[in-house]
């Protein structure tokens, strides 16, 4: 884990706290793309994407966490549950249907 990634993560937390969530998302995503080995950015992304019903993103981030985060078994179980719940929610979503041509 580099000092720069830690600083970006802390900056993302600050941005999120002041309501600049989209900017925070970018920084959290940077940490995930760099295989950050602490749970913070993964947890925040899963929560934000879950609240937005962005199930594919929850699945992607949970899988990244399982591959990169060094944590205890219960936390790994939480990532697996979040991935599973997002997969189920994604399957339940109605498929878009084309509009009839008028």
Q: What is the pLDDT of residue 101?
A: 81
Q: What is the pLDDT of residue 94?
A: 79
Which of the four pLDDT bands, split at 50, 70 and 90, describes residue 93? Answer: confident
The per-residue pLDDT for range 35-55, each reduced to its tens digit, is 999 999 999 999 999 999 999
**What are the start-end ranges of the H helices in the chain?**
3-17, 21-33, 40-51, 55-68, 73-92
Q: Give the lowest-confidence range in 7-11, 13-17, 60-64, 90-94.
A: 90-94
Q: Is residue 99 pLDDT above 90, yes or no?
A: no
Q: What is the pLDDT of residue 100?
A: 80
Domain ranges of the chain: 3-90
Burial of 56 by CB count in 10 Å (0-12 exposed, 13-18 middle, 19+ buried)? exposed
The residues, any chain, with a CB within 8 Å of residue 36's CB and separated by 6 or more, are: 1, 5, 9, 42, 68, 69
Q: Which residue has the higher pLDDT, 102 or 9?
A: 9
pTM (global) more than 0.85: yes
Please, what CATH class does the domain formed by 3-90 belong to?
Answer: mainly alpha
């Amino acid at each position: 884990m580099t000092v720069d990634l830690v600083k970006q993560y802390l900056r993302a937390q600050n941005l999120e706290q002041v309501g600049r969530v989209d900017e925070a998302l970018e920084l959290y995503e940077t940490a995930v793309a760099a295989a950050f080995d602490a749970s913070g950015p993964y947890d925040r992304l899963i929560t934000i994407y879950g609240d937005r019903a962005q199930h594919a993103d929850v699945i992607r981030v949970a899988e990244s966490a399982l591959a990169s985060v060094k944590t205890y078994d219960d936390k790994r179980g939480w990532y697996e549950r979040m991935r599973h719940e997002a997969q189920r929610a994604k399957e339940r979503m109605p498929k878009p249907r084309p509009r009839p041509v008028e």
